[in-house]
Structure 1
């Protein structure tokens, strides 16, 4: 039996997230595990219009860790003191760890995506279409390449970033997905995310029909338009809800030094998803 979580006080350690669209998942997931393990930690989600000041606050206030989401994954790098190899290799950060004022960037998205590709048993000989060229797309492309995928196309309207990412790993580039098909398709853009792009479908139905495996890294909601369409067509699906749990576990271990067991992770994940579902229902 774990000790009771202490009341918030001067010794309580704060962890946080920074995102343009703060998600309730991380707050509920981390705080639920702090409570279950009796840890003197608290987690809070934030957004900011001044990234430099926000990172300075992490350093000045001794905030233990910070999750980084779109659109800050690349912009945050010059503000840090160093990068762990997973972040340095793909030039993208989704986690900051503060060790007595030294801020180090990590990328736990890469770890989660690499593990999910392995778990799904996807043949690395299969060509893929990857939509996106931002921080999350970089993590996906690196995981694909390191999983053995040699044939693929990066789809990005931003030609500069799209070509750069494709060139880095020896893949092709296209501005739009129309006319393209592949057995594996992945969305690493905000299309389908809660907000103004919630109803957008990252790939049209003809591309989905031609695919065997569909991977959407958007976590909120778990049932994006792409995942709904793929499930209706009987495709093997990997959702962003799986990514967010695995990468959050890695963050939790980095912040606390504790790696939670599977049952605790499952319980905290279900709690966070259930709370998000209720919130979405009440909003609609």
Structure 2
């Protein structure tokens, strides 16, 4: 049996388990399985590995994309540069961390971009935002981060006046706000200041139309949820595990 899985916290809603279960079925891989490992703390990770020596690969989700790094044997250079891991491969008994969120976000964002899309606001400063910022930088898109507890050179949500929102064409929600079951939540923005020049990208995929996206759509903004990003990053993980 070739076992794969996802580590995170409160991950019963997981996209990955359903995606890979269907993939294995479609490919006739009856010897493959994918399961959730819901860890109360990242300190449980070493025991998980020790107790499951037949694991071939893992995905990592909120809130452990950064916390997992000190517990890994090695990092791919891109994951090291970003400071976040969402994929683990087992190579000759050692754990190697990768970040395939880069591929998922980049390849789902690029077809949406207009020549006028020159600046972005990244809402949230957790592990998912690390890959987003890396991609924006690689595409030459200027960006600022927005946080409830802003650090140096970051905006607070109170800083996002109509004038500020007018300077940034792309707004990317990297927070869990709006995901099931708290679907009524959304980043605290003046949505009435948005218009058709804006692109709202939500890493949340469940529900498909989050309140963040719905409010943008009402202003005529372009919208995109995180479903395609998840599919693309999952396929990239699969490629790593089979390389």
TM-score, with structure 1 as normaliser: 0.76
Contact 1:93–1:106 (CA under 8 A) maintained in structure 2:
yes
Question: Which residue of 1 is the match for residue 155 of structure 2?
Answer: 174
Task: Give ranges in structure 1 of 5+ residues lacking alignment.
Answer: 1-11, 164-171, 258-284
Would the alpha carbon gap of residues 188 and 217 (structure 1) be closer, same or farther in structure 2, given more than 3 Å must change? same
Q: Runs of 4+ in structure 1 displaced over 4 angstroms?
A: none
Match of 1:217 among 188, 197, 203: 203
Structure 1 CA distance, aligned partners of 2:42 and 2:19? 24
Q: Which runs of 5+ in 2 are unaligned?
A: none
Matched positions, count = 234
CA distance in 2 between counterparts of 1:124 and 1:251 reads 32
1:234-265 deviation per Cα after TM superposition (whole angstroms, max 9, x unaligned): 322121112111111111222234xxxxxxxx
Counterparts of 2:58 and 2:114 in 1: how far apart (Å)?
32
Q: Match for residue 18 of structure 1?
A: 7
Structure 2 match to 1:129: 121
Are 2:33 and 1:33 equivalent residues in the alignment? no
Kindly state the Cα deviation for residue 188 of structure 1 after the two structures are TM-superposed: 0.5
For 2:7 and 2:172, the matched residues in 1 are separated by 24
Determine if contact 1:110/1:142 at 8 Å carries over to the other structure: yes
1:49 equivalent in structure 2: 40
> Going by fraction, where is helix more abundant, 1 or 2?
1
Q: Which residue of 1 aligns with 2:171?
A: 185
Asked if 2 retains the 8 angstrom alpha-carbon contact of 1:185 and 1:211, the reply is no
Trace 1:68-217 onto structure 2 (pairs within 5 A): 68-123=60-115, 126-149=118-141, 151-160=142-151, 163=152, 172-176=153-157, 177-179=159-161, 180-181=164-165, 182-196=168-182, 198-202=183-187, 203-209=189-195, 211-217=197-203
